[in-house]
Amino acid sequence: MDQADILIKAGHTHEATAYFEKAIYAADTLELKTQTTVTWANALSRASRVRNDDPELQVKAAELYHSALPRVTGDLKRLTFNNYGSLLLRQDNPMEALAVLRAVEEDYARESEPVERSRYLYNLARAFEKNDELAAAKDRYQKSAVADPKFTPASRAVSRVLLKLIARPDLVKETAQWLDTVVDHGDLSLTQETIRSVLTRSDWVSQPGFEKVLISLMRYLTVTRVGPQEFKKQWQKNLTVTGEAHQDTRLVAREMVAAYYEDFPIAFEPERGHSRFVASLRAAGQPDAERVVSAFMKIIGDGYLAIEQEDQALQRYALAWTLDTTNMEAALYAADVLLKRREKIDQSNDLLNQFIFFLFEGKGRAYLGKDWENILRFHMVLGTIYVQRGEWGFSGNPQSAIFQLEHAIEAHKRLFSQVQEDAGPIAGVKAELAYSYEEAGHYRSAGATYVDAAETAMVEGDHELTRTVVEKISRATGRLDLSEQDDRRVEHIRKLLKAPQ
């Protein structure tokens, strides 16, 4: 059959026709004759694409597909109907294409693989769209995108059809849900294009429920880490919504702008967060409003830190943590700003001491609930603070790096035994503990812990950290007083690092 394909593409249609007619005549079963007919139709259809949708080839392919329809079964049935429907769309015959494609919708739903089903649903959606059945088109485009998230034409088609439809409350909500799906799939440019389009349409902005689209925008801004300068250039004007907008929409838009440019008190008491912003999201039906706003505030803080406005950054890190005390990235960044910019922001250490107090309080609550994931997080943050302060301490002193990091490692073990799966990397914490032992003069403990950290980093696939720790051991071998067993372990790690990866 490959030779016939070559003949058709080269324009030798008569020779290819003779080849296929001979093959059909020679086929000794009806099934084989049908397969050959479909193969011939597929070859003609492909060739017509190469030759600028040659109408003569298309007509012949359509005749062959049509003749095979009553006889095809199973996988061949799905393929034949889908290819024929696609050809009819190229022939600008959407009504017949829709009839052909709909005939196998149940077959595809029941039997096909995801990628195959995605392409079929995309063709079916195109047929619905060309017949002005936009709601049905949107539904099939969405199903196509879900079946294969990497198939971007389907995602883009969903947004295009959504914008064609007349705005109504249920559609606005559906658009927001779709935007969240697109963000999760990583198609951020499509998210941006769609949101920009709907923000300029007063018939959408005025609908109740439009605030859900703004929450999708907030997720987009969080994922793409949009700082205050970029926000001012790209989005602030769009969020100055008109008086025609629904009250809830105006509130969410106002709070999003305020999150970037308003001053917030720096305080670390949990549950004293920006209740106005959280309330606006709850009113919009967002169940995890605190977590969403916390993540949003964290990235805005990062933006301010990048332009060296540490006070503005700290305001947002503190707010992010008070809203969601599991947001330990915000906690770590807040601690870092307080420690490194102490003379500028917190000369008396009042803010840092307040933060440490509430971290201990949160850790206590986590222990009461046996919440090992958060216990680990609290110990890690406290350990980092005490390391940066140079307060090494000892195993029995909670206000020390050694105590907090030892307990972080123990919490990691407990978490791993509890969830029976990856509890996250721990090699970096072990390296910090080894450094703390070393600084405190506990050299034998430091050496053994450095070796343990290097082995753990190797297992976790962090070869850069492994090399860093091994180099540290090499520079301080005499001081660390490694045992013979630890020396052998280090030598084994060196061999693993030299081996081809």
Residue ranges of domains in the chain: 370-501
Per-residue confidence (pLDDT) for residue 4, from 0 to 100: 56
For the domain made up of 370-501, give the CATH fold. Answer: 1.25.40
Q: What is the pLDDT of residues 42-100, one digit of tens each?
A: 888 888 887 777 888 899 889 999 999 999 999 999 999 999 999 999 999 999 999 99
Q: Dihedral (C-alpha) 223, 224, 227, 229: value to the nearest 10 degrees?
A: -150
Q: Which two tokens stand for residue 334?
A: 């807040």
Q: Which of 26, 53, 37 is nearest to 4 (CA)?
A: 37
> Over 80: is that where the pLDDT of 313 sits?
yes
The Cα diameter of the chain in Å comes to 95
Per-residue confidence (pLDDT) for residue 88, from 0 to 100: 95
Q: What is the pLDDT of residues 327-365, one digit of tens each?
A: 999 999 999 999 888 778 777 888 999 999 999 999 999
With beta carbons less than 8 A apart as the criterion, state whether 273 and 322 touch: yes
Q: How many Å apart are CA 124 and CA 362, to the nearest integer?
A: 54
Per-residue confidence (pLDDT) for residue 259, from 0 to 100: 94
Contacts of 452 (CB under 8 A, 6+ apart): 430, 434
Per-residue confidence (pLDDT) for residue 271, from 0 to 100: 65
With beta carbons less than 8 A apart as the criterion, state whether 110 and 143 touch: no
Helix (H, G, I), strand (E, B) or coil at 82: helix
Strands (E), 315-391: none
With beta carbons less than 8 A apart as the criterion, state whether 138 and 104 touch: no
Per-residue confidence (pLDDT) for residue 13, from 0 to 100: 64
Helix (H, G, I), strand (E, B) or coil at 52: coil
C-alpha distances in Å from residue 180, one per residue of 65, 155, 161, 187, 345 = 40, 12, 17, 10, 38
Q: Which of 282, 322, 280 is nearest to 301 (CA)?
A: 322
Per-residue confidence (pLDDT) for residue 392, from 0 to 100: 95
> HSE on the CB side for 478, CA within 13 Å?
0
Per-residue confidence (pLDDT) for residue 221, from 0 to 100: 95
Q: What is the pLDDT of residues 238-259, one digit of tens each?
A: 887 655 677 778 888 889 999 9
H or E element: which one contains 297?
A: helix 289-306
Q: Which two tokens stand for residue 392?
A: 């090494």
Q: Which of 459, 474, 403 is nearest to 432 (CA)?
A: 403
Q: How many Å apart are CA 432 and CA 218, to the nearest integer?
A: 35
Task: Supply angle C-alpha 268, 272, 277, rounded to 5.
Answer: 120
C-alpha distances in Å from residue 488, one per residue of 130, 455, 470, 471, 494 = 71, 12, 13, 15, 10
Per-residue confidence (pLDDT) for residue 276, from 0 to 100: 81
Contacts of 410 (CB under 8 A, 6+ apart): none
> Over 60: is that where the pLDDT of 394 sits?
yes
Least confident of 124-128, 267-271, 459-463: 267-271
Neighbours of 3 (CB within 10 A): 10
Instruction: Say if pTM beats, i.e. exceeds, 0.85.
Output: no
With beta carbons less than 8 A apart as the criterion, state whether 249 and 241 touch: yes
Per-residue confidence (pLDDT) for residue 296, from 0 to 100: 96
Q: What percent of the chain has pLDDT over 70?
A: 93
Q: How many Å apart are CA 245 and CA 256, to the nearest integer?
A: 15
With beta carbons less than 8 A apart as the criterion, state whether 138 and 151 touch: no
> Over 80: is that where the pLDDT of 103 sits?
yes
C-alpha distances in Å from residue 67, one per residue of 40, 49, 323 = 12, 21, 66
With beta carbons less than 8 A apart as the criterion, state whether 252 and 211 touch: yes
Q: Which two tokens stand for residue 167?
A: 């705005």
Helix (H, G, I), strand (E, B) or coil at 425: coil
Per-residue confidence (pLDDT) for residue 206, from 0 to 100: 80
Task: Supply angle C-alpha 251, 253, 258, rounded to 5.
Answer: 90
